[in-house]
């Protein structure tokens, strides 16, 4: 299922920089009545910097389109599952869902592009690299100074070829899959995604820090028991299903998460 987005990337960048969790939640509560007047009033009446208040006229269009784009996908997910939009909105109001969306600037097409780039890495054998790194205790050797990060990158050239978008896709893929290993409280530092998208990520920090050790350890845990989501890259709609499912799991809403999971299995097949 494919949907055409009318949103301008720069408008989204500007809008996403100023949107707060509180504004996001209030906007989700009134998706049927998002008006330019409400957006301007909200910015005027709440705590924003003078710079943002001075930009409210130019930001209004971006924020309006942002909420309408979210509404379009929430409605499609609700229609597909025969669930009211109010129920689906609950999953999108989960705090880490907001943080994830904001880290990508609410650019769903960019999220899809990142997922696809990382899926290509799966086909090139990145799992084998992580497995081997975990088994050979590469981390401890680097920390002890026995080997250097450059030596590891030379041994595993697939790591050296990672681009920022692929790294962002890896982190998004991990976040979507994290629910399947029973660690519901584990979240990424979403600033890593922001850094990756801007091209300022560090391979050393990503894979050989404490959080990097966690990352690769999770990969090596039976490769998530064989669970993967190559189907995520087929459409933005599939991605929204995955995000909604993750939101419900983090909210510990077993009824809705099971309903979404049954749909995910169908989509996967």
pLDDT for the residue 71: 92
d(CA 40, CA 53): 9
**Mind listing the pLDDT tens digit for each residue in 65-108?**
889 989 998 998 888 888 889 999 999 999 989 998 998 888 88
pTM of the predicted model over 0.85: no
Sign of CA dihedral 106, 107, 112, 114: negative
Provide the pLDDT for residue 214: 66
**CA–CA gap between residue 130 and residue 159 (Å, rounded):** 10
pLDDT, one tens digit per residue, over 241-251 is 888 988 898 88
- Residue 4's pLDDT is what? 47
Strands (E), 109-266: none
The reported pLDDT for the residue numbered 184 is 43
Residue 201: how many other CB atoms lie within 10 Å: 21
Res 189: pLDDT: 64
pLDDT at 262 (0 to 100): 79
User: Do the beta carbons of residue 5 and residue 108 sit within 8 Å?
Assistant: yes
What's the confidence (pLDDT) of residue 37?
92
CB atoms < 10 A from the CB of 237, how many? 19
DSSP secondary structure letters along 176-207 = HHGGGGT-TT----THHHHHHHTT---HHHHH
- CA distance linking residue 12 with residue 105, whole number of Å: 6
pLDDT of residue 219: 63
> How much is the pLDDT for 91?
93
Return the pLDDT at 269.
41
The low-confidence residues of the chain, meaning pLDDT below 70, are: 1-9, 11-12, 178-189, 210-211, 213-215, 217-233, 265-269
State the Cα–Cα distance between residues 43 and 17, nearest whole angstrom: 13
Predicted confidence at residue 230, as pLDDT, reads 59
Burial of 182 (0-12, 13-18, 19+ CB in 10 A): exposed
For residue 204, the model assigns a pLDDT of 77
């Amino acid at each position: 299922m494919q949907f055409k987005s009318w949103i301008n990337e720069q408008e989204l960048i500007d809008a996403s920089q100023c949107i707060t969790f509180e504004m996001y939640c209030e906007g989700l509560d009134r998706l049927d009545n998002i008006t330019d007047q409400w957006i301007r009033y909200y910015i005027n009446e709440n705590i924003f910097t003078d710079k943002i208040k001075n930009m409210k006229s130019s930001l209004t269009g971006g924020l309006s389109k942002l909420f309408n784009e979210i509404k379009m996908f929430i409605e499609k997910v609700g229609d597909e599952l025969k669930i009211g939009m109010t129920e689906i909105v609950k999953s999108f109001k989960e705090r880490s869902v907001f943080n994830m969306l904001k880290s990508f600037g609410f650019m769903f097409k960019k999220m899809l592009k990142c997922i696809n780039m990382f899926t290509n890495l799966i086909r090139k054998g990145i799992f084998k690299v992580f497995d081997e790194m975990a088994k050979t205790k590469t981390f401890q050797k680097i920390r002890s100074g026995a080997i250097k990060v450059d030596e590891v990158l030379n041994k595993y050239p697939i790591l050296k070829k990672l681009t920022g978008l692929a790294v962002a896709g890896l982190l998004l893929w991990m976040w979507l899959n994290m629910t399947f290993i029973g660690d519901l409280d584990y979240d990424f530092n979403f600033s890593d995604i922001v850094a990756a998208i801007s091209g300022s990520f560090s391979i050393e920090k990503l894979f050989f820090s404490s959080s990097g050790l966690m990352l690769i350890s999770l990969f090596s845990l039976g490769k998530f028991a064989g669970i993967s989501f190559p189907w995520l890259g087929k459409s933005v709609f599939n991605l929204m299903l995955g995000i909604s499912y993750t939101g419900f799991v983090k909210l510990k809403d077993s009824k809705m998460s099971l309903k979404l999971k049954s749909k995910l299995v169908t989509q996967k097949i």
